[in-house]
Structure 1
Amino acid sequence: MNIFLWILQGLAALVYGASGIMKVFLFEKISHDVLSFGALPRAVWTALGLLELVCVVGLIVPGALRAMPSLTIAAAAILAGESLVFIWVHAQYRETGTIVMCAVLGLLMAFIAYGRLVLQPIS
């Protein structure tokens, strides 16, 4: 289970890292292609991107250093909660594919939080 959770954490870190970089550094370039980016102000998207980047660090570093593993659980839980915001945003624009992707990522993050809290805590 530990290896499986590490694989999920690594994949999630890649996905959320790319998403955070896109929201913080490439927003102007890509916002024209995605209608739902108009649902929230630019500053909110930047804040969400920064939150994702901080959580990416939280998914990997505490476990790798075996220091404050509760940060990994918190990072995963925060990203699971963030997915609910994204589901709401994309639902306003009826972007079904994106809603499904956000739901899957949210469930994945909830599983990682549960896994690291109950199934295989980092010690």
Structure 2
Amino acid sequence: MNVVLWIIAGLLAAAFLAAGAMKVLQPREKLIASGMGWAADFGDGQVKLIGVLEILGAIGLILPAALDIAPVLVPLAALGLVIIMIGAIVVHARRKETQALLPSAVLLVLAAVVAWGRFGPWSF
């Protein structure tokens, strides 16, 4: 199960790193035009903050355990990503963006599995 948790954490890290970088590097208007209508409900700073938090979460899933420096940060990062995804699901549900609910739910479940596994039976 340890290998499975590493694989899930790696996939999550890649997904959140890409999503966070896109939010940080692109202007909000471009994000809205590319289909991220939810960004219209948030200010520029808020969208950038979400992106930075996603990047930090991605880094926190891998780096502390890989370097064996404060590995307790791995499940905390996973828990933080769970909270971000709960917020994403709420926003998408309120906006009736049903196509965005499934990917958000999948990321939520995967992050919850990593948090459970690393807090519990397969902690570092």
TM-score strictly above 0.5 = yes
Q: Which residue of 1 aligns with 2:119?
A: 117
How many residues end up aligned between the 2 structures? 122
Which of 31, 34, 38 lines up with 1:36 in the alignment? Answer: 38
Query: How far 1:50 sits from its partner (Å)?
Result: 0.4
TM-score, normalised with respect to structure 2: 0.92
User: Deviation digits for residues 14-73 of structure 1, max 9, x if unmatched?
Assistant: 000000001100244332132221121121110010011111111001110112111001
Q: Distance in 2 between matches of 1:78 and 1:27?
A: 24
Q: Distance in 2 between matches of 1:85 and 1:42?
A: 17
TM-score, normalised with respect to structure 1: 0.93
Give every structure 1 segment of 4 or more consecutive aligned residues whose post-TM-superposition deviation is greater than 6 Å: none
Q: Which residue of 2 aligns with 1:85?
A: 87
Secondary structure at the aligned position of 1:69 is classed as: coil
Q: Which residue of 1 aligns with 2:19?
A: 19
Secondary structure at the aligned position of 1:75 is classed as: helix
| Identity of matched residues, % | 34
Which piece of structure 1 moves more, 57-66 or 88-97? Answer: 88-97
Q: Distance in 1 between matches of 2:2 and 2:63?
A: 15
Q: Which runs of 5+ in 2 are unaligned?
A: none
Q: Which runs of 5+ in 1 are unaligned?
A: none
Aligned-pair RMSD on alpha carbons? 1.1
Q: Distance in 2 between matches of 1:27 and 1:115?
A: 36
Q: Distance in 2 between matches of 1:99 and 1:88?
A: 9
- 8 Å CA contact 2:31–2:39 kept in 1: the answer is no
Q: Which residue of 2 aligns with 1:64?
A: 66
